[in-house]
Structure 1
Amino acid sequence: MAKVSIDGGSLIVEMEGLDKLWALKSRLTFPLGHVRGATADPGIIKERKGFRSPGAHIPGLITAGSYRVHGERIFWDVRDAGKAVVIELADEQYARLVVQVSDPRATVALIESAVTAN
């Protein structure tokens, strides 16, 4: 699971517990100016993942790490698709972040309000 927060002008995504190991990342930080928005999307888990580079994928259990599909790099950290949030980015190493959070609605609202205020 990931913890998403806003600090000043930055979006911070921190992986918790064993997700740090599976995703091979513990923290990602992006300027709010590069965040296009966020949506709660439990159906995203059915989307083609592409090539893993590096990360972990056990169908039905976990998708974590960096993946490449259609020329885009996407970061995944999802075990429970029902709690998946997709964060769209611009001008960053990742085009999207797909992360599991404890409260998808609250996370989307936090990101959307920060992006709008920025």
Structure 2
Amino acid sequence: MAVLSVQGQDLVVDLVGLDKFWTLKSKLTIPLAHVRGATVDPGILDEPKGIRAPGTHLPGVITAGTFRQDGEKVFWAVHDAQKAVVVELTGDERFTRLVIEVDDPRAAVALVERATGR
């Protein structure tokens, strides 16, 4: 699970619990200027993930870490597809997208929309 917050001009993704271990990260900080938007997308787990580099993927259990596919680098931290939020980023970031599980997906999307003015 992840917790989203806005700190100054940054979107901060804090990973909690064992997700820090599975993703090999504890926090991601993304300038708001590099955030294109966010959507609730429970179907995203059915899409191909690509190659883990590094990461963990146990279908139906967890998808976590960095995955590469078709020239894109996507960060995943999801157990429950119903709580998945996709944050789209600009080409200025090391990731193309963040696919993260949050406690309240609609509130997370609203936070991103308010912070980016989109």
Instruction: Give the TM-score normalised by the residue count of structure 1.
Output: 0.98
Question: Which residue does 2:43 correspond to in 1?
Answer: 43
1:57 Cα offset (Å): 0.5
1:8 Cα offset (Å): 0.6
The equivalences for 1:27-106 within 5 A come to 27-90=27-90, 91-106=92-107
Q: Paired residues, what number?
A: 117
1:95 Cα offset (Å): 0.2
Runs of 5+ consecutive residues of structure 2 not aligned to the other structure: none
Which amino acid counterpart does residue 73 of structure 1 have in structure 2?
K
Question: Which residue does 1:116 correspond to in 2?
Answer: 117
| Alpha-carbon distance in 2 for matches of 1:56, 1:24 | 10
Runs of 5+ consecutive residues of structure 1 not aligned to the other structure: none
| Alpha-carbon distance in 1 for matches of 2:57, 2:84 | 16
Question: Which residue does 2:108 correspond to in 1?
Answer: 107
Question: Which residue does 1:19 correspond to in 2?
Answer: 19
Which amino acid counterpart does residue 103 of structure 2 have in structure 1?
S
1:67-91 deviation digits (Å, cap 9, x = unpaired):
0011000000000000000000011
1:6 Cα offset (Å): 0.3
Which amino acid counterpart does residue 36 of structure 2 have in structure 1?
R
| Alpha-carbon distance in 2 for matches of 1:97, 1:69 | 14
Structure 1 stretches of 4+ with a deviation exceeding 2 A read: none
1:59 Cα offset (Å): 0.6
